[in-house]
Copies of this chain bind each other. A is one copy, B any other.
C-alpha cells in the first residue's frame, strides 16, 4: 500500500522467526514498530494480542500496523495483510461544539478527507448553553443522561457518515475529538460541577488516549480516542486544536488567534512563547440575543450594508432564502452600516432624525426595522432594539479590551502582529471591515485578518494525518501561559473606553474615519 509518511499506518516486513531470532510474535512487531517510529514503549491491545499469532503467520509477517500515540502512550490497534492493497483504515475527527458537532472521516493511510457532516448537539434539548447543562448534570442521573444523549447521537451520526461513505463503523481505528472543557467532560461522563465554580477546576486537563468502547463510541472495538487536552475550565481542547491548525506555535512571526463564541478565547504568540486568555464576550454574537439574532442557518442574514442610493439595506442570506433573522456576522455589518450612515451615534444610540421611519415601539421598547414584514419570511418586521445594540457594544468592547489587555501584558502593539486569525464559523463570515468599524478588532491592514474556518475540526483532522503534529499538542499545552483576566480597574477603564463606536480614542481607528479605504 502506498502510505503517506508520518501517518498512523505503517508497513512492516518483519524478520522471520528462527532459532536465533525467537522473540515473541507481539514483541517482534513492537520492536520493529519502535525502530520505525522512535518511541520507547508500545502497548498492544489485549484483544488484538490474542489474534496476533494467527494473523502474522497468515500475512507471512508482512503487515500493515495501525497505531495511535499521545504523550508516552503508544498503542498498537490493528494489523492487516500488507500484500492486500484494499483496506479501509479510517480516522474520525470530531469538533465537539456546544451547539453543533462536526465529524469528518479521514483516510489514515494517506490523510485524505473522505466525508463530513454537521449536526446539532443533542444536549440542546436539555439546555442551549453549557451553564444550564452543568446545572442539569447536578441532578440525579443528569450527567448520565447528558452523556448518553451525546454518545447516542454521536453513534447515530457515525453510522450515517460511514453509510454515505460506504465504509463500516469497524473501519474506524483512530478518533480525535476537540471540544471545550465542559463538552469534553460530558463526553467522558466526568462531573462538570467544579468547572463553573471558583477556582474553576476541571476533573482532568490532559487525559490522552482512551479506548472508544470505554466511552461507548461505536467504532472498531479496538479503536482509540485522543481527546484534546484543556488548559483550564475556560480554555478547552477545541482551542488547543485550533492552535495546532493555525501553526502559531511553530512560527517565528507573532500572531494572534481569536475564537469567538459565548466566550472569546484569545491566543497570542509565536514559536518561542504563547499567552492565552478567555473572557466572557457576551451573548450578542450568538443566537437568542435579539428577536432576530440566530445562528447561521438558511435564511440568516450573514452580510448586510446600507445603500444610500436606494435608502435601504442590501443583504445576503445563507442559501439566498428570504430572511428569517440575522446572525452574528450580519449583526456586526448592520452596526457598522448604522454607524457609517449616522443612524446610530458613537454611543450606539439610535439617531431618530437619521432613521427616517424605521423606528417603532414594540412593547414600549424602541426598535429599528431592518427588513420590512413583506420582505421577510417571518410574520413581522425584522428589527433590532436599542438593547440589542447595547448588548453588541458590550460584546465588542469586551473583545477589544481583551485584545488590548493580552497584547499589553507582553508589551507588544497590534501593529507587531503578522497574522490575526479568526477561528470558527464566525471567522468565516465576519467582515473585518465592519468589525473594525465598530471597534471590535484593531484597525490593521485587512490582509492580516485570516479566517481559519473550523480550526477545532481541522486540528483534529491534522492529528489523524500526522504523528509529528500530534506530538505538538503537548508542546502547545506546555508552552501556553494562561493569563487570568483579572477584571481590575485598568481593565474596566479600557472596557469603558471601548464601549464607544469605534472607541473614545479615534486615533486607534484611523481608517474608520477614512471612508475611502474601507468603504
Contact = CB atoms under 8 A, between A and B. Distances in A.
A206 B210 CA distance: 22
Given A22-B201, A26-B207, 9 more contacts: A20-B484, A23-B205, A24-B202, A25-B204, A26-B204, A41-B71, A41-B72, A44-B207, A49-B188
Given A190-B50, A191-B53, A25 B203 contact: yes
A29 to B, nearest CB: 10
Contacts of A208: 43
A27 B73 CA distance: 16
Contact of A53 (B194, B206, B233): B194
Contacts of A18: 199
A54 B203 CA distance: 10
A450 B40 CA distance: 38
B205 A27 contact: yes
Interface residues of A, number: 47
Q: Please name the 5 residue pairs, one residue from A and one from B, whose CB atoms are nearest each other, closest first.
A: A41-B72, A26-B204, A24-B205, A24-B202, A24-B204
A104 interface: no
Contact of A19 (B40, B54, B198): B198
Given A53-B193, A54-B191, A199 B72 contact: no
Nearest to A486: B19
A232 interface: yes
A67 B19 CA distance: 38
Which of A21, A72, A204, A208: most chain B CB closer than 10 A?
A204
A352 interface: no
Contacts of A193: 53
A119 interface: no
Contacts of A202: 24-25
A33 to B, nearest CB: 14
21 contacts: A17-B199, A19-B199, A19-B200, A19-B484, A20-B484, A22-B199, A22-B201, A22-B233, A25-B203, A26-B207, A27-B205, A43-B208, A44-B204, A46-B188, A46-B210, A49-B188, A49-B207, A50-B191, A53-B190, A53-B191, A53-B203
A497 interface: no
A475 B41 CA distance: 15
A87 interface: no
A214 interface: yes
Contacts of A25: 194, 201-204
A189 interface: yes
A52 interface: yes
Nearest to A74: B72
B49 A190 contact: yes
Which of A53, A208, A214, A233: most chain B CB closer than 10 A?
A53
A170 to B, nearest CB: 21
Interface in A10-47: 17-27, 40-41, 43-44, 46
A344 B352 CA distance: 127
B24 A203 contact: yes
Contacts of A207: 26, 44, 49
B27 A206 contact: yes
A454 to B, nearest CB: 26
Interface string A294-330: 0000000000000000000000000000000000000
Contacts of A26: 203-205, 207
A53 B194 CA distance: 8
A431 B489 CA distance: 88
A144 B208 CA distance: 33
Contacts of A46: 188, 210, 214
Interface string A212-240: 00100000000000000010110000000
